[in-house]
A and B are shown apart, each in its own frame.
Chain A
Amino acid sequence: MESMYNLRERVPESQPFSEINGVRQYDLSMRKSALMAYQKPARRILELIKQGMTDIVEVGVNTGLLSLYIGGKHPGIAVSGIEENRNLLEVAEENLNLSVWANTRANVEFELGKLSKLPFADQSADIVFSFSSLHMWKRPVETLKECQRICKPDGIVIIEDMNRLADEGHITFVLQFLKEGAKDFMTALGASYSPEDVRQLLNEAGLPDWHVYEEDLGLIVSSRSLSL
């Protein structure tokens, strides 16, 4: 059957989020209407949190919404977010400022840094997670290796992003709800990986044992098996 969308080939975004006002608009639309997309990843991370965990890292924080949510639920755990896009980081900082002003008990920090050289010690994080960022990573193979390096031996890496070759019905369904954000969504989807692409990246990173799952519009990469 012929596909409806031009998504067969991956087209990386040349300069994602290069305008601060565009990022603020994106953040606002996420907060107002696209939080649906955050629900499952948030629940998955919360279910992975165990007694005694101390450190969680988000790789590519976007505008900080997910780290703030997780941190707010677990004020005893340090949540550190790294972002290499300055505009995204700036808006994440704005969101963090507001949450501090609103007396959040969360222990959350955001930092500018290369995702291919994470500023954390080996085996220092209980959970390393990423959401809707993988498709923008400049050096995905190195970043995957870094996720592995900073994760504790009994910890878990869980990376979620869109699946470029997701069922077209899901794509159509989401497109219908996005209105103004539809163009950016399709650009991001076009820059996203397919399950096969991700397996290739994992192989190049020397992580062939990691798991790749497909779920609705997304794909989930995990260092351990998950029961979805």
Chain B
Amino acid sequence: MTKHSLPFWKEYPERDNEWVRQYPTKHVAIREEDVFTQSPMGIYVHIPFCNRLCFSCPYIKHQTDSGITQRFLDALKLEISNYARRPYIKDHRITLGYIGGGTPTSFSSKQLAEMLDHLFGELNMSPDVELSIETTPVDINEKKARTLVEKGVRRISLGVQTFVKQELEDIGRPGDPQLIMDAIKLVQDAGFKNVNIDLMHGLNGQTMESWEYSLDKAIELGVTCVSFYTYMEFAQVSTKRRKLPPVPSKDVVDEMFLFAARKLTQNGFEGYYGDCFAKPGFQPRYGHLSWSEDIPIIPLGPTATGHLRKHWYFNEPNIDRYIDIVNSGRLPISMGQHISKEEAIRRAMVLGVKASRVDRKRFKELHGVDFATLFKREIEDLQEKGLVTMTEHGLEVTGPKGWYFLDNISKAFYSDEFKRFPQHLGADITPFLKNVAAR
């Protein structure tokens, strides 16, 4: 260390005569806004109702029933208010939001307005909050779309699945592609500049040609984001399902993914989470920021998952119990996990790679460690498999192969303790666990 020649600095054995009482010592101008800055935070709202239950969907949802939807909405508002009162929440501003389900637009436009007014009224919503909502082509109309835009929702996602009539009928959807195209135009005309559609590959009877047709339609309709999902055929017996053509072989399903990735990138889309593609400037920040920047997320509604204050947790899945707990004045937190410092670092990798890249400098700022050193072995293994590359900035998932194996990459960073456990779907298994604190 260089010897200090400052007048007040004395090196042992000379006695220093400056009475130390502050640290750090260098000071710069600071304003009250710097001291009381509000950190960013996100919300996830789960609306567990659908007007039509799809047998291909594994998520927890219930038939819309006017007898319960308003009771549920009243409880949801109470839950929002409960969070809003807490100092920790007041210290944040909401910059990200995602309203999923279920089908959030199973609510009437009046109920949607009521929910959004309450969110904006109670929480510190940032003026430029990126708020997304999910809908289906059937559950949206002009009044709802205009209400959503007017009340601050900026991005809408439609569960389209396919533009092929027969494929729509075979997954139990109204088999009218025109209805879908009209719905997309309707939301665009209502003022949504950012429109995502979900497409499915691996459907009964789907061919590479029909898959290409659906992708072409998506591109032609001018949507800004396309996400695609692999269809999972559930084992169920119904006279309808028995007569369906078979699903394509695994090889074809794999090829469909790569084909779609190539086609969309050739048409001006950029991949962001493996199976999600967006036109430049339209990539949603929700997942990327909550994962890569470690932005806390408030979970609202039954089965909603979030992470706050060193815990990830999800809410009570049973609607009636959810309503009762919220009405009793408590938060409906049901189950989750404390995130230790070591697991927080792993979590940042597990979820960070889902955004296709992990920035080395930013990671160190947030978590205090160099992930390239810490996970050297895991990263080298992934590099050998051709799934990731290391650049001067950090880790990049190698597309399109790495996009397809994104979840494999993610799991490479699990700790041994959590390696063999599945992702949670929101069912409450606490009654079966050992040593669970009485609730």
Chain A residues close to B by CB (< 8 Å): 1, 3-6, 31-33, 35-36, 38-39, 167-169, 172-173, 175-179, 182-183, 186
Contact B237 A31 (CB under 8 A): yes
Inter-chain contacts of B58 with A (CB < 8 A): 177
A109 and B433 CA atoms in complex are apart in Å by 41
Known: A169-B421, A182-B431. 12 other contacts (CB 8 A): A1-B417, A4-B433, A5-B432, A5-B434, A31-B237, A35-B236, A168-B420, A168-B421, A172-B421, A176-B422, A177-B425, A179-B427
Q: Report which residue of B426, B431, B432 has the largest number of chain A beta carbons within 10 angstroms of its beta carbon.
A: B432
Inter-chain contacts of A6 with B (CB < 8 A): 434
Interface size counted on chain B using CB atoms at 8 A: 19
Chain A residue at smallest Cβ distance from B419: A169
Contact A182 B421 (CB under 8 A): no
Chain B residues close to A by CB (< 8 Å): 58, 234-237, 416-417, 420-422, 424-427, 429, 431-434
Chain A residue at smallest Cβ distance from B427: A176
Q: Does more than half of chain B's interface fall in helix, strand or loop, or is it mixed? A: loop
Contact B420 A38 (CB under 8 A): no
A167 and B420 CA atoms in complex are apart in Å by 8
Contact A39 B425 (CB under 8 A): no
Q: Report which residue of A3, A31, A176, A177 has the largest number of chain B beta carbons within 10 angstroms of its beta carbon.
A: A176
Contact A175 B429 (CB under 8 A): yes
Contact A39 B429 (CB under 8 A): no
Contact B429 A172 (CB under 8 A): yes
A136 and B25 CA atoms in complex are apart in Å by 74
In the complex, what's the smallest C-beta–C-beta distance from B234 to chain A, in angstroms? 7
A167 and B234 CA atoms in complex are apart in Å by 23
A175 and B425 CA atoms in complex are apart in Å by 10
A176 and B427 CA atoms in complex are apart in Å by 5
Which of A33, A169, A172, A177 is the one whose CB lies under 8 Å from B236?
Answer: A33
Inter-chain contacts of B417 with A (CB < 8 A): 1
Chain B residue at smallest Cβ distance from A186: B432
Instruction: Using known A-B contacts A4-B433, A169-B420, determine if residue A36 contacts B234 with beta carbons closer than 8 Å.
Output: yes
In the complex, what's the smallest C-beta–C-beta distance from A188 to chain B, in angstroms? 12
Inter-chain contacts of A183 with B (CB < 8 A): 431-432
Which of A4, A36, A169 is the one whose CB lies under 8 Å from B235?
Answer: A36
Q: Which 3 A-B pairs have the closest CB atoms?
A: A169-B420, A176-B427, A173-B422
Contact B429 A32 (CB under 8 A): no
Contact B236 A176 (CB under 8 A): no
Inter-chain contacts of B432 with A (CB < 8 A): 5, 175, 182-183, 186
In the complex, what's the smallest C-beta–C-beta distance from A190 to chain B, in angstroms? 10
Instruction: Using known A-B contacts A1-B417, A168-B421, determine if residue A35 contacts B427 with beta carbons closer than 8 Å.
Output: no
Inter-chain contacts of A172 with B (CB < 8 A): 421-422, 429
Which of A167, A177, A186 is the one whose CB lies under 8 Å from B427?
Answer: A177
